[in-house]
Amino acid sequence: MIAEVAGVLASSKSAIAFTGAGISAESGVPTFRGRDGLWKRYRPEELATPEAFRTNPKLVWEFYKWRIKKILEAKPNPAHYSLVELEKMGILKAVITQNVDDLHREAGTKNLLELHGNIFRVRCTSCNYKEYLKESGRIEEVLQEDIPRCPKCGAYLRPDVVWFGEPLPEEVLSKAFKLAETADVVIVVGTSGVVYPAAYIPYIVKENNGTVIEINVQESGITPIADFFLRGKAGVILPKLVDEVRRIIE
C-alpha cells in the first residue's frame, strides 16, 4: 500500500499535512489521550481551561512548566523531518498542526500553521504583551516562577495556547480552512481527530474531493473517511513513504 500512497503524493499538486500529538510521541512528548498523557491525577480537559486558570493559576502553570520541561528534552524525530523533506520536494504546501511543542519548526518546516498556539509563547492576561521565550531567552526564568508575571504591567502571564472552550486564532484557522478547501491530498498524522474545529480539516479536504491518507498506530475519528490508512508509528512509516516518493519523482 505504501507504493500506491507514494504514487498519490508524487502526482499531487497541493498536498497538506495535518498533525497531532502522535507525531511527537516518538520524540518523548506525552500525547493527550494516551495513558502517559496524564499529569498527576488530572486530565488535560481539567487543567487546560480558562476556568482552571481563574481558580488555580499556580496549578495550571505547574502543569505547563512540566510540559515545557518535557518538550525541552525532546528533539524532532524522523516523522517531523520527513514532512520537511516533502516540503523541500515541493509536494507538501503546508503543515497544519494541533501541537504546541514547536518540533515542526525545530525540524525546519517553513509553512507551518499552529492551530492551538505554541507553548514557548506567553501572553499577558491584562495588557497586549506577548513574548516568544525561545527568542527572549527567558525560559529558565519563567520556569522558576510560581506564576510568571508580565514584565510590562505585572499581571499574570499565561501560555499562548488554546484552552478547551476558547476560540482558535482566527487568522490561522481561516488560512488552514482555505488550504484544506484546495488541497488535493491531506496526510493526517497521529491525531485522535476528536477535537474541533481542528478535526474539520481532513473532512474539508474530503468534501472537496481530496484524498485522505492517515498514519496512526490505531484507528481515529478520521479513519472512517480515510482513503488510505497506514497503521504504524509515524517515525517509521513517513520515512518509508518519502523514500518511495523520491524513487518515483527522481
Kindly tell me which residue out of 152, 178, 231, 247 binds Zn ion, with binding defined by CB under 5 A: 152
As separate numbers, helices (DSSP H) first and strands (DSSP E) second, the chain gives 12, 9
Beta 112-114 vs 211-216: how paired, if at all?
A: unpaired
SS3 167: coil
Binding to ligand APR, residues 164-203 (CB under 6 A): 190-192, 195
> Of the residues 67, 93, 116, 158, which is catalytic?
116
Torsion sign (Cα): 22, 161, 111, 225: positive
In order of 13, 108, 123, 181, the CA distances from 174 in angstroms are: 21, 23, 22, 11
Annotated catalytic residue 80: no
Binding partner of 12, given ligand APR, Zn ion, none, CB within 5-8 angstroms per partner class:
none
Binding characters for ligand APR, 90-109, by CB under 6 A (x = yes): --------x-----------
- Give me the least distance between CB of 140 and ligand APR, in Å please: 25
Beta 117-124 vs 15-19: how paired, if at all?
A: unpaired
Residue (22 or 210) nearer to ligand APR, CB = 22
Q: Which residues bind ligand APR (CB under 6 A)?
A: 20-22, 25-26, 31-34, 37, 44, 98, 116, 190-192, 195, 215-218, 220, 233-234
